[in-house]
Structure 1
């Protein structure tokens, strides 16, 4: 079989390898991203303690609410906000040693004070065994400890403090520093920030700072970078600390933030954005499974290399015999036959007859890969009991593939795979390799219709009525809102790929979508970047338009229509 069609084995092995690698990657990595914080959507993903809350699309670790005229600058307040689930920081503990997880996190902070406030006390990025906050952890304790627990090994926390109040009794360097803390507010290492042109709590208006905290579980090195928001990550870290987290943390611990105010020191301690990725090693019970997966991946790689060598020899020989075009045709046909429920193949002469020999009067339009023609297809249906055969006529749209577009074969195959699986009352069904009309006016009208339903609070009415009530309403609502967000006329406003994946998987809530469809506006042409963005957007739109026109790609061979 390999000699006849080696591509079949390659396709199977690549699919198997992809599935194994995807399983290993997704199970072994955990991540989340918050571009902003919304009360209803994000409260279930975060744990709030003390005086913390969400307000103005930010995490408020110390009070800032509209409910009380004085609470927004409350004295002697403290709060914690932690991600809702813990992460495993190492595996193994016996004679074979242990493996530490690595993580990278990025967040944006703003420590605001009015001109007549005495700034204090600060906030901290925190890894702790739980979300609970100690009693009386206000003032110098930053929501981390209190007078009776400070320094205790039972605390099991590691923190990066952003301190805005000098405490002489714990030997703070000044009123503006970051520190590396273990189980105590007394920093193991503290770095003044004035020389880096960083002021944590400046006179109004406040300043947003982006912070990166990177930990390498192999080298046990933790590094902290900080810069004004909008600037690139610096080349050199502010803090470099070697620490074995296993010595201090619980095996399963939480990520989050803590902060406090004092008396008379007050400020607003806010987190505006937060993303995190951790290489979360599998547990001991599943080690055998991962060894099997690793072995399977290695065997697959070896087999693929071997098959590619064989295919290379076959390809060279066939190329020398001037059969490369027939080989490509065979491969294209093979791929199509793997599509679940693939419709029948039509003879070229059948479609030629249906379109009056592709007459100019039957031309519907011209899109990607070729010209679209109107056709009338005669279908013979034989009765189930073997009786009379009836002939029916069906109007179709036929796309005649242009040999000049042979370089676009892979794009067309990918597009055909997608449209073959689409089912919707407003979309024409694919009836043969491969036919479909997803015309622009159909798409644009359909999106506007969903926007109208969303505006009226009836977005679930966009679900296919054939489903009745047999679907999960929350999931349908999530995907419809995501679809509207992805249809934003300005590409830079659409969700990023990483965010889309997290929304679809349920890690993040659905996006916030305004009730009215945003209007398209041309980006500014005043700079090179904006001009490039405009051209990129226009090019992307042109490609989308061409692909929505794709109906049937035809290639004439000796006896059949091939894709």
Structure 2
């Protein structure tokens, strides 16, 4: 059990924090021989307590009492998987064993999910869960019925309701369906169309019954539950369910791999305080079969729940959970890497201990550790001819290394400028953040190396290089083909999706702090991959900004004007940088002549053309008119809106993504560029509110020390 005082938001003395980190690692190493069961720990973030538990796999010993899980109906554990409905035929045949069955698996202990407030309102806890499912057809003809993630007032007393097979998913039956006395809410993954269903492949929110209050088809997302072809694990999906107690809203996401998409498959209002019969609730899964059947399996399950003040009962019962090898991946990595970030990022300018003081390779869940000799050989001794790019952090090289199965693969090796204090801070800062991020529009970290005083990170190689080379070219490079309009729009949408993930969909708010074309890579299909997280910072839950005491980092033209006065990086300042990138994508020109008030020649000309009603004249002439005018205007208006001098007027990443996916109209932009106001920041809840201050115009005064 990790003591609450050691949660990710605490500020420990250097020696204590280092000791805790090494203690964590030693615990992980000594538990490898223990059979994987479950792990739980409590953390404090922004003054709020959270309990996290993890089942990276399931063991049959979980079915033995006493245990952390309560099994009911036909549920079981087979082959390290929760089988919510029967998993195989018996001697009596499938018609007797698999048809019209139900099962459920719940946590044995409840959580308090809401509490009364003095003013008569209700405070509702938030939670987030991720699990991997396998909905598998027993034959190519049939599938049925489905599986649900459930929040319920009761764990069923050890038995699903009678008659709850078929379309009732083990939750209710014909006589009780829709009754408020049921006291449950569920996210269903339904594979059979009932008369009240949308189709036979959808996700839905069920409240006290199986007639979903909100439902969405999964086919448009490229998701097929219980597919016919299961030869390549097509029935396996990752499912994320996030519940925000403050906004009373539930969102569900689905993907084939571990990268949560930027767009939810389900987004619906849900006030659990009005659904549950009391303040306590159980979490779990329920499933059923009907006259047609399938295997409904859960292969892993992680969950974090906000603890309310009277959650002591659940806390005490969970404190006895068995710690096994499972503590390594979901828990120790988060804690150890979080402490690394705390030790090396928050203590800027003061090196607590060298990288060698911690054996990074011993932390479970870390990416592959490369041998220095292999990377040296793969880069031809770091030959200049293998250089892909260079920045304030160091140099990036192309390399060929051994991949899975001994096959060679090309990678990008980022060499930090030195193993001194700053180099080690940059290395650990980037490693601690990018290692935990999973998104299709982020550059993927493959591994790392720290040998012979050299710090290296190894990334997927992006065959089409960086965006700036395609837009502007580089001295000494052969001219790149002009990006088509379709490619440009796809790049803008991809970067927006990555930004939305960092700002709103990841566990913590991540501020990138260096949005620019040279940090946007293009894969073989010209999909955008945001990279270079050396300046990125993850914020505590109660923070909305980050201040770097070492000075204002970033690149002129992409730094928001308020940053020169506040010295703080925020989500709004990231959006400003994104706006500059969008204008460059459309116009094919660099930001230039940059000033502290956020002015640039490109931005000024775009505002002037917009005011004159001829904004499309800003489009890159190299396209020779081969572009979609409506999309071009949408992008240009979005670029201007994101470049608004006053941060409170810029759209959030969620709205940006909606605009780019045509789910929302283009932003309403004033005809002329507003004056920059130096705002006074007021904090209200978790949002920053800006009040007007003195206005400022473009100034030519700038120090070269701000350039990277």
- Give the alignment's TM-score, normalised by structure 1: 0.49
Give the TM-score normalised by structure 2.
Answer: 0.39
Higher alpha-carbon Rg: 1
Larger proportion of helix = 1
Structure with bigger RCO (C-alpha 8 Å, 6+ apart): 1
